[in-house]
């Protein structure tokens, strides 16, 4: 049994109260490691070490900070296979996905922000005959990063990389459901020469560690990705303390497919945007609206393709879908299939658990599921399911599809499929979402603003937006 440790003051440490939580391999349904059930005392220790480290780290020249971050990235890259296998074991995702997406992206996040900080500049505002304003942007101090289980190291590094590059000291909490690669990262940081206390990784439960971080008066900003309800809890605590907050929350993303689209591209990308990572990506499209003239043709082709998608154990190179992250999550997702049927939907394919053989027989596998015949405003079409379940709905006009697409409380991402430039522009303009992909999905340029509107969050990550979040501007005026 492997025991994961906290990373505080540059050292791997057991939690103060020496209590642990089981960590389950979702592909087999068995406990395979123990993680610290840390408490407020551990957060306190981390804050003390970050406080000691801050003057040194914030005054370290940018290029030296960047060099250490690039070294961390290089070490992860040199151990890519090991990291990918660990991510897959912890999360249930296919090893091929972790090898091609999760771990390479974690490496890119570190390299991107290590270089971005060297191009980051603040403004100056000249006032004719009066003087000049110049703005400095200094690190905030100690910041907190809280991340979820769906893309563990990918989202963990997406937060800590800009925070560290900007010169902050970080207290970071990975999801208790997928802690392994964050633990491996702590070993890499020590090897790469990151000074003690600059990054502290505390493992444990959200309502203990995450809550203690949110309440700690010396943690001046919280960057969070996870469920909308958790985001609301964090905001309630942090707002009266005037902490800076970046919240990346849930989604219920629409895919809008017009009759004039490139059919084959729309079809193959929609299979991916529906079921990649078992549908557990906040950017997955879960409500697919298809223009009526191609509805039946698209439906038939989509169902045929999805029914053939192989659900298998993560190391199977043929696996298109692996296990979902946990038993409670599998039960939640399947309960939405029952709800959809109660609401009058028809399951066209999937809708059930998959039982694999042998050592994987207790794993948490769900067949990719397509449902039709539901009203746009029923619960199945309004609530985030976050699993391999999508609905399909026909539409007749642009106004109608926009009304349906914009009807949820969320507004994270969307896709539009059409060969008509005017349609693409006008629909993209009218969708309530932070991100619109036209004739594509999940094409990511790390410089672009990333985040959602409505209950999908507050603030934007990515590029200079993230560096602005993790710095405080100060304007200085000099009279001429």
CA dist 478 and 475 (Å) reads 10
Q: How far is the CB of 224 from ligand TXE (least distance, A)?
A: 6
Is 434 an interacting residue with respect to ligand TXE (CB under 6 A)? no
Q: Is residue 225 within 8 Å of 462, Cβ to Cβ?
A: no
Interactions with ligand TXE, residue window 85-144 (CB under 6 A) = none
Q: Enter the tokens of residue 239.
A: 């707002």
What does DSSP assign to residue 206?
I
Binding mask 257-296 for ligand TXE (x = CB under 6 A): -------------------------x--------------
The binder of ligand TXE chosen from 145, 164, 234, 261 (CB under 6 A):
234
What does DSSP assign to residue 100?
I
Is 210 an interacting residue with respect to ligand TXE (CB under 6 A)? yes
Query: How many H-runs (helices) and E-runs (strands) does the chain carry?
Result: 16, 23
For 119, 222, 318, the CA distances from 447, given in Å and listed in that order, are: 12, 21, 33
Binding mask 328-367 for ligand TXE (x = CB under 6 A): ----------------------------------------
Is 254 an interacting residue with respect to ligand TXE (CB under 6 A)? no
Q: What is the DSSP string of 160-203?
A: HHHHHHTT-EEEEE--TTS-HHHHHHHHHHHHHTPPTTSEEE--
The binder of ligand TXE chosen from 6, 49, 175, 286 (CB under 6 A):
175
Nearer to ligand TXE by Cβ, of 176 and 372: the residue is 176
Interface stretch with ligand TXE, choices 52-60, 83-91, 206-214, 356-364 (CB under 6 A): 206-214
Q: Is residue 170 within 8 Å of 199, Cβ to Cβ?
A: yes
Q: How far is the CB of 174 from ligand TXE (least distance, A)?
A: 6
The binder of ligand TXE chosen from 10, 104, 195, 227 (CB under 6 A):
227
Is 302 an interacting residue with respect to ligand TXE (CB under 6 A)? no
Q: Enter the tokens of residue 26.
A: 């979702």
Is 181 an interacting residue with respect to ligand TXE (CB under 6 A)? no
Nearer to ligand TXE by Cβ, of 103 and 301: the residue is 103
Measure the N-to-C terminal CA separation of the chain; round to a whole number of Å.
68
CA dist 290 and 259 (Å) reads 8
Catalytic residues: 248, 282
Q: Is residue 283 within 8 Å of 251, Cβ to Cβ?
A: yes
Strand partners, 437: 415
Interface stretch with ligand TXE, choices 13-21, 132-140, 221-229, 351-359 (CB under 6 A): 221-229
The binder of ligand TXE chosen from 214, 369, 414, 471 (CB under 6 A):
214
Interface stretch with ligand TXE, choices 58-66, 164-172, 225-233, 394-402 (CB under 6 A): 225-233
The binder of ligand TXE chosen from 6, 27, 230, 253 (CB under 6 A):
230
Binding mask 61-90 for ligand TXE (x = CB under 6 A): ------------------------------
What does DSSP assign to residue 98?
I
The binder of ligand TXE chosen from 15, 92, 94, 148 (CB under 6 A):
148
Is 37 an interacting residue with respect to ligand TXE (CB under 6 A)? no
Residue among 105, 417, 133 nearest 273 (CA) = 417
Nearer to ligand TXE by Cβ, of 174 and 345: the residue is 174
Q: Is residue 180 within 8 Å of 89, Cβ to Cβ?
A: yes
Is 373 an interacting residue with respect to ligand TXE (CB under 6 A)? no
Residue among 395, 327, 339 nearest 369 (CA) = 339
The binder of ligand TXE chosen from 6, 88, 223, 225 (CB under 6 A):
225
For 134, 280, 308, 480, the CA distances from 122, given in Å and listed in that order, are: 8, 37, 53, 20
Number of other residues whose CB lies within 10 A of the CB of residue 11: 13
What does DSSP assign to residue 99?
I
Q: How far is the CB of 231 from ligand TXE (least distance, A)?
A: 7
Q: How far is the CB of 41 from ligand TXE (least distance, A)?
A: 17
Is 461 an interacting residue with respect to ligand TXE (CB under 6 A)? no
CA dist 435 and 428 (Å) reads 9
The binder of ligand TXE chosen from 42, 87, 102, 248 (CB under 6 A):
248
Residue among 118, 121, 71, 89 nearest 24 (CA) = 89
Q: What are the residues binding ligand TXE (CB under 6 A)?
A: 146-150, 173, 175-176, 206-207, 210-211, 214, 225-227, 230, 233-234, 248-250, 282, 384, 386
């Amino acid at each position: 049994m492997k025991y994961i440790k906290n990373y505080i003051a540059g050292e791997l440490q057991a939690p103060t109260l020496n209590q642990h939580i089981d960590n389950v391999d979702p592909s087999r349904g068995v406990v395979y490691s123990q993680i610290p059930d840390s408490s407020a005392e551990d957060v306190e220790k981390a804050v003390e070490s970050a406080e000691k480290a801050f003057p040194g780290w914030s005054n370290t020249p940018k290029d030296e900070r960047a060099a250490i971050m690039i070294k961390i990235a290089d070490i992860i890259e040199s151990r890519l296979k090991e990291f990918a296998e660990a991510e897959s074991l912890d999360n249930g995702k296919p090893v091929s996905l972790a090898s091609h997406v999760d771990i390479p992206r974690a490496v890119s996040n570190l390299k991107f922000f290590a270089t971005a900080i060297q191009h980051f500049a603040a403004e100056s505002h000249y006032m004719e005959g009066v003087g000049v304003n110049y703005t400095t942007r200094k690190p905030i101090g100690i910041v907190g990063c809280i991340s979820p289980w769906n893309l563990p190291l990918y989202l963990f590094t997406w937060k800590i990389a800009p925070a560290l590059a900007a010169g902050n000291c970080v207290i970071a909490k990975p999801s208790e459901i997928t802690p392994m690669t964050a633990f491996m990262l702590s070993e890499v940081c020590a090897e790469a020469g990151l000074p003690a206390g600059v990054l502290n990784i505390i493992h444990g439960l959200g309502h203990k560690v995450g809550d203690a971080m949110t309440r700690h008066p010396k943690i001046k900003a919280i960057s969070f990705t996870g469920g909308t309800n958790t985001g609301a809890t964090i905001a309630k605590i942090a707002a009266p303390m005037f902490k800076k907050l970046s919240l990346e929350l849930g989604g219920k993303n629409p895919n809008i497919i017009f009759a004039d689209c490139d059919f084959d591209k729309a079809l193959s990308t929609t299979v991916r945007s529906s079921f990649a990572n078992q549908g557990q990506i906040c950017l997955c499209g879960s409500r697919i609206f298809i223009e009526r003239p191609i509805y039946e043709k698209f439906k038939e082709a989509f169902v045929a393709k999805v029914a053939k998608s192989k659900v298998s154990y993560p190391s199977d190179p043929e696996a298109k879908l692996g296990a979902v992250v946990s038993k409670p999550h599998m039960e939640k997702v399947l309960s939405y299939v029952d709800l959809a049927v109660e609401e009058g939907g028809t399951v066209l394919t999937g809708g059930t658990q998959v039982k694999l053989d042998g050592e994987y027989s207790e794993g948490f596998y769900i067949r990719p599921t397509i449902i039709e015949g539901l009203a746009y405003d029923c619960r199945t079409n309004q609530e985030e399911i976050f699993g391999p379940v999508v609905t399909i709905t026909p539409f007749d006009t642009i106004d109608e599809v926009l009304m349906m697409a914009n009807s949820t409380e969320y507004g994270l991402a969307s896709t539009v499929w059409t060969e008509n430039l005017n349609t693409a522009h006008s629909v993209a303009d009218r969708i309530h979402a932070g991100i619109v992909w036209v004739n594509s999905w999940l094409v990511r340029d790390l410089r672009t603003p990333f985040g959602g509107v409505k209950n999908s969050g507050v603030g934007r990550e990515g590029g200079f937006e993230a560096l602005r979040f993790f710095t405080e501007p100060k304007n200085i005026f000099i009279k001429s």
